[in-house]
Amino acid sequence: MGVWFQKPTVEQLNRFSKNTLMEHLNIEYTEIGEDYIRATMPVDARTHQPMGILHGGASVALAESLGSVAATLCVDVREKYCVGVEINANHLRQVHSGKVTGTARPVHLGNRIQVWEIQITDDSHRLVCVSRITLMVMDR
């Protein structure tokens, strides 16, 4: 059984990202499974730091985008909304080019707090970053 209260299509999620940071970084949602959501992000001039490798902040932007959207899909948005209260990231491997793929899975889905883990991998499926985001579920 899935974790989603609502399950939009990948196309709907990508339309929702128009005119946002996600569009600027070319983050594209690619898959919604029963208990995960996945997106890709290019590693290029938009996401590099001055040394020509993936900027840690870009990885965190991908992680937060995935975690926030995933959390929102788990609540009735007519009654609730989710806000991030903490995020951390461990950067494990450099990436110079290609793309990275982030996959968010729930750690805890409570009535007031959600915790999601996001694993980011490179084109060779090697772990690049592990992030965890905590979100508070708020009443509208």
CA distances from 48 to 16, 45, 51, 60, 79 (A): 25, 5, 8, 13, 39
The residues carrying an active-site annotation are: 64
